[in-house]
């Protein structure tokens, strides 16, 4: 039951219209009250937080080693199907970029290449 | 020169690292050796994943600790997966990147494993350096089917008289050793491994001892014993100690079976001892509960029977077309207060081809091994018994069972007839003959000759309490005076007319010498 309500709210969050999604939440609370199931509300909130955290973890995310590589990285990532609005600078990449979205990772960084060399040499 | 430098600089500027695209996940939560992972939607059940500690570190930090930690996916869920962590779970943190490896959990196998102590992932833990593996094999695989198997027809001598005479084990059989704690279960398994030293090198089984949830001191002691007896030359120890994560304790028997199968498929014989499956079941229960699988009887998950059946079904005697190798399994189960009707014991009893039941009462009475012959059975071993042993051990089991009944009856009646007294004395003598201390396995030809002497009345002139000492003397005498007969029995696997005649003469001479 909790899963069902959570899925319902998750779907509501997809709707761009804020008023409509607020109305859906109000109706759900009224329904829970009338059904005597208000105890479920904290559990639903917890589940929703989990869903939000999962979405955040799996959101399109592009990292670049230097600012100057941002435009090229975003373009290349978009070509690979990862659409991000901007990139985050991560100097630990040394050179290049990496992008991930929905469980897919494209690593175009020098750090990966150097680690790969190190692992092959020390194996 | 300048043009060369410019050319090189141009090459460096144009260098772009190669892209690597892969499916990954992110650790959502971790605890109790389980990681909840978001993503990895295409992962298969039992697939290995890699928790990458280098992903969110600088290159310098990553190079200090580049060793990955593996995980095993055991729950596929709607919005992610759950995996057990096969290593130090404290290094796993929320937000960590998890990579798919695209292969089922596999371990290295090969001849170079012989003489080594490894963990369930096939990594050496004996400090003797890395092992050169012949190949990698998935630890979970389907057992051989009916067509690929042959019937069990070659004996596996344990060196324990009571077992080889009454509960014979064949190569490819699954014989359960069951009993309370401290009743000598491990001793039987270890004696069996040590006894393989007396087998010819060409047909000597490779022995794999899998220690599950045991104290590391016990395993170290056991390895030292195997080494001191020269048994590590043909043995491998797989250890998942009590301090290891539950996942490794659950995997250890499968790793043992995988290593054993490598030798079986090479046309050789292998013996694998699972010590013990009760602890493996407990580890699996722990994992299943943490993975939020619904608990069943005694809180074990619903597939606990399948866990043991798919493991033990991998023991087989292969057909000639498949190379004729074999994998014999000796699973061990620990009972509580002798209760064989508990969940796990009944499951494993029904899966195996027989059981050796050890009783605490008999152990406390001084019987070694403390086997209850009444309820111990070998369902397929008799067809693998040698002619020599069949000939001498034919009715021992029945006579001993009758003796146990009479012994019980004797407690209520002081007035016994001559025939009953005779039977009781014979039973006591036979019990003494079958008594055998730990670490003293006998070659099969010596067992056959001792039992021959006992069943043909050569010990009848001695009181039951003298029999044990006389048997020891007889062993020394035969080794000294009758090595030709012993060699003939070992060679032909039967007591032929000529050998029997010589043997009787030697036994008569021994008895006469003792009487004098």
Residues of A in contact with B79 (CB under 8 A): 51, 54
Considering only residues 95 to 114 of chain B, which have any Cβ-Cβ distance to chain A shorter than 8 Å?
95, 97, 99
Say yes or no for a CB contact (<8 Å) between B17 and A100. no
Q: Which residue has the tokens 């491994």?
A: B193
The answer on pLDDT for A14 being more than 80 is no
pLDDT number for residue A8: 72
Query: Do A61 and A85 meet the contact criterion of CB atoms below 8 Å apart?
Result: no
What is the Cα–Cα distance from B514 to B508, expressed in whole angstroms?
10
pLDDT number for residue B286: 95
Q: Which residue of A lies nearest to B98 if distances are taken between CA atoms?
A: A103
Instruction: Give the closest residue to A74 by CA, choosing from A98, A105, A107, A56.
Output: A98
pLDDT number for residue B122: 93
Say yes or no for a CB contact (<8 Å) between A109 and B66. no
Distance from CA of A102 to the nearest CA of B (A): 6
pLDDT tens digits, A28-68 = 889 889 988 888 888 888 888 888 888 887 889 999 998 88
DSSP state, residue B460: T
Nearest to B59 among A92, A108, A119 (CB): A92
Which H or E element spans position B327?
strand B326-334
pLDDT tens digits, B274-300 = 999 999 999 999 999 999 999 999 999
Burial of residue B159, with CB atoms counted within 10 A of its CB: 0-12 exposed, 13-18 middle, 19 or more buried: buried
pLDDT tens digits, B53-62 = 888 877 777 7
Put simply, whether A46 touches B (Cβ < 8 Å) is: no
Residues of A in contact with B24 (CB under 8 A): 100, 103-105
Say yes or no for a CB contact (<8 Å) between A95 and B18. no
- The residues that bridge with B177 in the sheet, in sequence order, are B332, B356
Put simply, whether A43 touches B (Cβ < 8 Å) is: no
Say yes or no for a CB contact (<8 Å) between B66 and A119. yes
- The residues that bridge with B51 in the sheet, in sequence order, are B69, B98
User: What is the total residue count of chain B?
Assistant: 516
What is the Cα–Cα distance from B258 to B260, expressed in whole angstroms?
5
Query: Do B312 and B174 meet the contact criterion of CB atoms below 8 Å apart?
Result: yes
> Number of C-alpha atoms within 13 angstroms, CB side, residue A74?
12
The answer on pLDDT for A98 being more than 70 is yes
Encoded tokens for B157: 């001598």
Q: Which residue of A lies nearest to B16 if distances are taken between CA atoms?
A: A96
Residue ranges of chain B with per-residue pLDDT less than 70: 12-19, 65-66, 413-414
Give the Cα-Cα-Cα angle B5, B11, B15 (nearest 5 degrees): 145
pLDDT number for residue B15: 67
Q: Which residue has the tokens 């209850």?
A: B372
* pTM, full prediction: 0.85
Query: Do B370 and B360 meet the contact criterion of CB atoms below 8 Å apart?
Result: yes
Say yes or no for a CB contact (<8 Å) between B63 and A80. no
What is the Cα–Cα distance from B502 to B484, expressed in whole angstroms?
9
**What ipTM was reported for this prediction?**
0.72
User: What is the total residue count of chain A?
Assistant: 123
Determine which of B19, B63, B96, B98 to mutate to test the interface with A (most A C-beta atoms within 10 Å).
B19
Considering only residues 53 to 92 of chain A, which have any Cβ-Cβ distance to chain B shorter than 8 Å?
53-54, 57-58, 80, 92
Phi-psi region of B115 (alpha: psi -120 to 50; beta: other; left: phi over 0): left
The answer on pLDDT for A11 being more than 80 is no
Say yes or no for a CB contact (<8 Å) between A58 and B95. no
Nearest to A92 among B39, B57, B66 (CB): B57
Number of neighbours of residue A48 by Cβ within 10 angstroms: 15
Report chain B's terminal Cα–Cα distance, integer Å: 107
Residues of A in contact with B62 (CB under 8 A): 111, 115
Encoded tokens for B165: 């005479």
pLDDT tens digits, A22-37 = 888 888 889 889 988 8
A118 vs A97, higher pLDDT: A97
DSSP B96-165: -EEEEEEEE-EEEE-GGGTT-EE-TTS-B-SSS-----SEEEES--PPP-STTB----SB---S-HHHHH
Say yes or no for a CB contact (<8 Å) between A103 and B24. yes
Put simply, whether B16 touches A (Cβ < 8 Å) is: yes
What is the Cα–Cα distance from A101 to B219, expressed in whole angstroms?
47
CA B268, distance to chain mean position in Å, is 17
Catalytic residue among B379, B404, B423, B496: B379
What is the Cα–Cα distance from B317 to B262, expressed in whole angstroms?
13
pLDDT tens digits, B135-191 = 999 999 999 999 999 999 999 999 999 999 999 999 999 999 999 999 999 999 999
Q: Which residue has the tokens 């007591």?
A: B495
The answer on pLDDT for A15 being more than 70 is no
Residues of A in contact with B19 (CB under 8 A): 106-108
A9 confidence band (pLDDT: 50, 70, 90)? confident
Put simply, whether B53 touches A (Cβ < 8 Å) is: no
Say yes or no for a CB contact (<8 Å) between A96 and B16. yes
Q: At what angle do helices B464-481 and B483-492 cross, to 10 degrees?
A: 90
pLDDT number for residue B356: 96
Beta strand segments in B180-325, E: 206-212, 235-240, 269-275, 316-317
Encoded tokens for B502: 């010589």
pLDDT number for residue B219: 96
B379: annotated active-site residue? yes
What is the Cα–Cα distance from B195 to B496, expressed in whole angstroms?
24
Distance from CA of B217 to the nearest CA of A (A): 32
- The residues that bridge with B235 in the sheet, in sequence order, are B207
């Amino acid at each position: 039951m909790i899963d069902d309500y959570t899925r319902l709210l998750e779907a509501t969050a997809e709707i761009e219209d804020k008023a409509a999604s607020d109305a859906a939440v109000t109706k759900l609370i009224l329904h829970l009250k009338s059904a005597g199931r208000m105890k479920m509300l904290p559990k639903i909130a917890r589940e929703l937080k989990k869903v939000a955290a999962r979405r955040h973890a799996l959101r399109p995310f592009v990292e670049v080693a230097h600012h100057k590589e941002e435009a090229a990285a975003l373009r290349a990532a978009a070509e690979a199907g990862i659409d991000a609005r901007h990139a985050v600078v991560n100097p630990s990449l040394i050179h290049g970029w990496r992008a991930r979205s929905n469980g897919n990772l494209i690593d175009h960084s020098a750090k990966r290449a150097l680690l790969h060399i190190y692992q092959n040499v020390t194996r | 020169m300048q043009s060369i430098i410019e050319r090189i600089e141009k090459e460096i500027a144009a260098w772009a690292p190669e892209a690597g695209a892969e499916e990954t996940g992110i650790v959502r939560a971790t605890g109790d050796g389980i990681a909840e992972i978001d993503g990895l939607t295409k992962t298969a059940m039992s697939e290995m994943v890699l928790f990458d500690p280098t992903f969110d570190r600088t290159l310098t930090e990553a190079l200090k600790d580049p060793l990955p930690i593996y995980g095993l996916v055991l729950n596929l869920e709607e919005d992610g997966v759950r995996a057990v962590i096969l290593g130090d779970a404290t290094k796993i943190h929320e937000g960590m990147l998890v990579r798919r490896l695209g292969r089922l959990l596999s371990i290295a196998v090969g001849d170079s494993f012989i003489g080594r102590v490894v963990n369930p992932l096939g990594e050496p833990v004996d400090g003797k350096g890395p092992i050169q593996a012949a190949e990698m094999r998935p630890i979970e695989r389907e057992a051989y089917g009916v067509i690929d198997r042959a019937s069990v027809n070659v004996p596996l001598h344990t060196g324990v008289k009571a077992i080889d005479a009454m509960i014979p084990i064949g190569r490819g059989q699954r014989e359960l050793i069951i009993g309370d704690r401290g009743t000598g279960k491990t001793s039987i398994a270890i004696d069996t491994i040590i006894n393989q030293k007396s087998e010819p090198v060409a047909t000597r089984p490779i022995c794999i001892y899998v220690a599950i949830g045991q104290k590391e001191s016990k395993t170290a002691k056991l390895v030292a014993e195997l080494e001191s007896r020269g048994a590590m030359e043909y043995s491998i120890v797989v250890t998942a100690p009590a301090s290891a994560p539950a996942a490794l304790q659950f995997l250890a028997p499968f790793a043992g079976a995988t290593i054993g199968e490598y030798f079986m498929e090479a046309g050789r014989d292998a013996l694998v001892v699972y010590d013990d499956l009760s602890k493996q079941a407990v580890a699996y229960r722990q994992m299943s509960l943490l993975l939020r699988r619904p608990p069943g009887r005694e809180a074990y998950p619903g597939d606990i029977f399948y866990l043991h059946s798919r493991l033990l079904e991998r023991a087989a005697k292969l057909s000639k077309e498949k190379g004729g190798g074999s994998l014999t399994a000796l699973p061990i189960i620990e009972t509580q207060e002798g209760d064989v009707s508990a969940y796990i014991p009944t499951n494993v009893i029904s899966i195996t081809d027989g059981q050796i039941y050890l009783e605490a009462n008999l152990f406390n009475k001084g019987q070694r091994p403390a086997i209850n012959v009444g309820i111990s059975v070998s369902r397929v071993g008799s067809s693998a018994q040698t002619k020599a042993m069949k000939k001498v051990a034919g009715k021992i089991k029945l006579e001993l069972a009758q003796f146990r009944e009479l012994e019980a009856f004797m407690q209520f009646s002081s007035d016994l007839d001559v025939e009953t007294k005779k039977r009781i004395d014979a039973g006591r003598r036979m019990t003494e003959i079958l008594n055998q201390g730990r670490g003293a396995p006998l070659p099969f030809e010596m067992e056959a000759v001792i039992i021959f002497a006992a069943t043909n009345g050569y010990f009848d002139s001695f009181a039951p309490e003298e029999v044990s000492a006389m048997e020891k003397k007889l062993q020394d005498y035969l080794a000294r005076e009758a090595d030709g007969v012993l060699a003939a029995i070992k060679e032909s696997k039967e007591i032929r007319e000529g050998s029997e005649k010589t043997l009787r003469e030697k036994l008569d001479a021994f008895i006469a010498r003792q009487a004098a």
